[in-house]
Amino acid sequence: MSNTRQNNNSAEGMEKVPYVFELPILKYQEEVKDLISIIVPIYNTELYLKEALDSIITQSFENWEAILVDDGSTDKCQEICTEYVKKDSRFKYICKKQNEGLLLARKTGLENARGEFIANLDSDDFYKSQFLEKMLAKIKEGNNDFVYCNFEGLGKIKPPAAIYNKFSENKLENIFRIRDFLPNVCNKLIKRSVYAKTLFPQIHIVYGEDFIQSISVLYHSSCSEFVEDGLYVYRLNSVVSASLSFNTISKEKRYVQRVVYSIAAYLIMKQFFVPNEAEKAFADENNFGNFADYFLLNKKKLVRYKIEYAENFVPAFLRGLKEIKIKSFKEKFRRIALILACKGFPLLFRLLRKTRNMWLGL
């Protein structure tokens, strides 16, 4: 896979793309039927970790294992994890020496999971007591590839309301409608045969990790159902480390992370679709249009954050912009601004982004 990808990149003038975007081959444990593996990535969340782990212990469905992946915590998370491993043998603890981010922590958990089904739990959130039971019943009832439930939120912002949609035979169309399926992996129970096909770019990102995984899950799925109950409690305003929380970093770094996320998403899309389809998704505002933030960063900032290679993706972004459907005058005007930015004249885009009234959704 690695050699093929490098050859394709060279053919498209993208040979400068660094090795960190390699998609490593995962090694899996032997699957155990009817077992649910819960992957819990952990980084400096000692304030909430016990509540998260207690919500696993109190599940009405008891045939589970929980893979606790400590992503280099510097607080008391290790002590807490050790305590729970001693308390209940269904907990497994893996301590990583270096912090690599949520996405790669989940990859480590997946490689050590044995369950027929995979669940994810962020360590500052928690499950309702019937999460596993109700989700398992629903996934088996329709022989679904995954099922997803609504959220309950601890915070000022309410989680999005569920939207009911059926899968299209057009896989690209499903990806464009990713938000309709609530693009978080923590509110889902997924067959391991599907989740094991998730692509994990070898890069530390703190934005869009769930989108990155949901792309693969949706692509490899053909059947899904929704559980109306709010079985997953999402702590929207928790104060967690910047390594796991996008909201705690500076505006400048947010721009950088959105660009890095978009590139990673684009490279994953290229594994599934022909170039023009991947480029169209790359530029689509509802999915991967965050690459536009590249034009808010000057060359010094790009070098400082080591994403100067992002310029290799400007041609792909430009081609995608020319193919996406335009619905309104504002969108047409914005597209003109972005096309000019791609051609080396970003002033209009920067002005629109600064005024914000023409840049919807950001």
Question: d(Cα 339, Cα 13) in Å, to the nearest integer?
Answer: 19
Asked if residue 238 has pLDDT above 60, the reply is: no
Q: Which pLDDT score is estimated for 11?
A: 34
Task: Count other Cβ atoms within 10 Å, centred on residue 137.
Answer: 14
* Architecture of the domain spanning 31-235: Alpha-Beta Complex (3.90)
Beta bridge partners of 41: 69
Question: Six-digit token pair at 316?
Answer: 């792909």
Q: What is the pLDDT of residue 9?
A: 37
For residue 299, the SS3 value is: helix
pLDDT digits (tens, 9 = 90+) for 203-231: 777 788 898 899 999 999 999 999 988 89
pLDDT digits (tens, 9 = 90+) for 77-93: 999 999 999 999 999 99
In this predicted model, what pLDDT tens digit does every residue of 21-44 receive, in sequence order? Answer: 566 667 788 999 999 999 999 999
Highest mean pLDDT among 162-166, 240-244, 263-267: 263-267
Q: What is the pLDDT of residue 251?
A: 78
Strand 146-154 to strand 126-127: parallel, antiparallel, or no bridges (unpaired)?
unpaired
| Residue extents of the structural domains in the chain | 2-20+251-355, 31-235
Q: Give 11's contacts (C-beta < 8 A, 6+ positions apart).
A: none
- Residues above pLDDT 90, as percent of the chain: 48
